[in-house]
Amino acid sequence: MTAQMSVSRKFAHAAAPKAALLLLFAILATNAMHAQDAAMAPPALTFTYTTVNVPGALNTQLFSVNNYGAMVGNYIDASGVLHGVLVSGGKFKTIDHPAPAVGTRLFGINSTGTIAGYYLDAVGVAFGFTYKGGVFKSILPPGSTATYVYGLNDAGQVTGGYYDSANIQHGFVGNATTGYKKLDVPGSSFTLAWGINKSGIVSLVWRNASGLRKGATYNGTKFTTVSVPGSKETLMRGINTAGDLVMGYIDATGTHAALRTGGVFYKFSDPVQPNSTIATGINDKRVITGNITDSVTGMISGIKVTY
């Protein structure tokens, strides 16, 4: 299934060999402006969609893709149990944290194959971790009572969110060696850090004073708000090396996906569920992960999107 979005303009031109000289000059000037506008127009992108479902699963979600095409997410099996999943080379591998848990979720994967996520204990408290080669390592920002890990880069910096003892939700970035830095978008009631690229730029989602979710980036010193044009809410997700961002956004018709590349927003939606699509991760090879939700059954499917 393929969806196209064109960001170009069409113009009609007419030849007038017997027109007056001034009219000819006007036509030439207009054509020159049109050519300049066309040269400055953003390139058109074609989005191609592939549905990804774990065999026999009730739901499948994808959240991240690395530069080798490996994707991570989670699925709910026929018994209703939540598992983490690695999708690589057309094969599905279940990854569950060994602690007594009611579910494992995987959100990030970097180029070294290290995975980030969290598990839920018997009472639903979240504990963050990284995973590689069968080894789980805990992520514990100081003062956290519950930790959610969403992203990581090749340098081993992780991003996520945590609740403190006052039940306030903060974003964070860092690792056990360098320490963890609390991230709160000014004026927010909660902040979650989702992705992080090689330069350490973080993508975040936060809630404003009106209770609406907005996107932002953080470059180590400054927060910059990112909102999809025409949207009510922006659900920021992944970021790649170039600083391209993917996200979901909500408007009057539902939830859709968006890509910001080169400073230009491209809105797109899987035609199967055009009003229930979200983009979640992006690599450097023009591959995006996302999810669609069936508007009738509520079943969630992962999608791989190329552009």
Q: CA end-to-end span of the chain, whole Å?
A: 12
Tokens coding 146: 């519950």
* Structural domain containing residue 152: 45-306
Tokens coding 123: 């009472």
Q: Please report the sign of the dihedral spanned by the C-alpha atoms of residue 7, residue 224, residue 234, residue 280.
A: positive
Q: Which residue in 90, 56, 95 sits closest to 73, CA to CA?
A: 95
Q: Is residue 16 part of a domain?
A: no
List of the chain residues with pLDDT < 50: 1-29, 33, 35
Q: Which residue in 72, 75, 54 sits closest to 110, CA to CA?
A: 72
Q: Is residue 78 part of a domain?
A: yes
Q: Tell me, what's the pLDDT at 17? A: 40
Domain harbouring 232, CATH code: 2.120.10.30
Mark residue 122 as left, alpha or beta (left: phi above 0; alpha: psi -120 to 50; beta: remaining).
alpha
Q: Is residue 164 part of a domain?
A: yes
Q: Is residue 185 part of a domain?
A: yes
61 three-class SS? strand
Burial of 149 (0-12, 13-18, 19+ CB in 10 A): buried
User: CA-based Rg of the chain, rounded to a whole angstrom?
Assistant: 22
Q: Tell me, what's the pLDDT at 21? A: 40
Q: Is residue 224 part of a domain?
A: yes
Q: What amino acid is encoded at 42 in this protein? A: P
Q: Is residue 17 part of a domain?
A: no
Number of independent structural domains in the chain = 1
**Measured in whole angstroms, how far is the alpha carbon of residue 30 from the centre of its chain?**
41
Please report, for residues 150, 152, 172, 182, 287, the alpha-carbon distance to residue 220 in angstroms, rounded to integers and kept in the order given.
Answer: 18, 15, 11, 11, 26
Q: Tell me, what's the pLDDT at 100? A: 86
Q: Tell me, what's the pLDDT at 38? A: 52
> CB neighbours of 149 closer than 8 A, spacing ≥ 6?
107, 108, 116, 117, 118, 128, 129, 130, 139, 158, 159, 160
Which backbone phi and psi does 35 adopt, to 5 degrees?
-65, -40
Asked if 108 and 101 touch (Cβ cutoff 8 Å), the reply is no
Q: Tell me, what's the pLDDT at 201? A: 98
Q: Is residue 187 part of a domain?
A: yes
Q: Is residue 21 part of a domain?
A: no
